[in-house]
């Protein structure tokens, strides 16, 4: 079965640079979630989109923005990167049901040097 696709899988950036992470949900899933997992930490919810509209917002820095496109894929844009942004970024998708379980992608490991 098709799973959530994230690209790139690994990314190395320098401080103050920008990064764009992409997420392709499972086919027919219309909701996308972004989570950030710092080293040794649990995943923290950043933001979610349902039918291309922002549906919920968590502890996402103002330097980050995200959107969901007409084909339901989503992009997380990160600017003015800081060392503390180094983390594993997960995208998850779920179906139309309000409480459908979220299926996670493999994650993008971002390293800021």
Partner 1 sequence: AQKVTQAQTEISVVEKEDVTLDCVYETRDTTYYLFWYKQPPSGELVFLIRRNSFDEQNEISGRYSWNFQKSTSSFNFTITASQVVDSAVYFCALNPGAAGNKLTFGGGTRVLVKP
Is 25 a binding residue for partner 1 by CB under 8 A? The answer is no
Cβ closest to partner 1, residue 25 vs residue 105: 105
In 72-108, which positions are buried (b, 16+ CB within 10 angstroms) versus exposed (e)? bbbbbebeebeeebbbbbbbbbbeeeeeeebbbbebb
Is 88 a binding residue for partner 1 by CB under 8 A? The answer is yes
Is 106 a binding residue for partner 1 by CB under 8 A? The answer is yes
List beta partners, residue 109: 10, 88
Binding interface with partner 1 (CB under 8 A): 31, 33, 35, 41-45, 48, 55-56, 58, 88, 90, 92, 94, 98-99, 101-107, 109
């Amino acid at each position: 079965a098709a799973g959530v696709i994230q690209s790139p899988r690994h990314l190395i950036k320098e401080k103050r640079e920008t990064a764009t992470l992409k997420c392709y949900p499972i086919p027919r899933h219309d909701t996308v979630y972004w989570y950030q997992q710092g080293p040794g930490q649990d995943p923290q919810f950043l933001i979610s989109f349902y039918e291309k509209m922002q549906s919920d917002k968590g502890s996402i820095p103002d330097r980050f923005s995200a959107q969901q496109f007409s084909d339901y894929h989503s992009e997380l844009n990160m600017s003015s990167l800081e060392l503390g942004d180094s983390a594993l970024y997960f995208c998850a998708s779920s179906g139309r049901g309000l409480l459908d379980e979220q299926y996670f992608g493999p994650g993008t490991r971002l390293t800021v040097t």
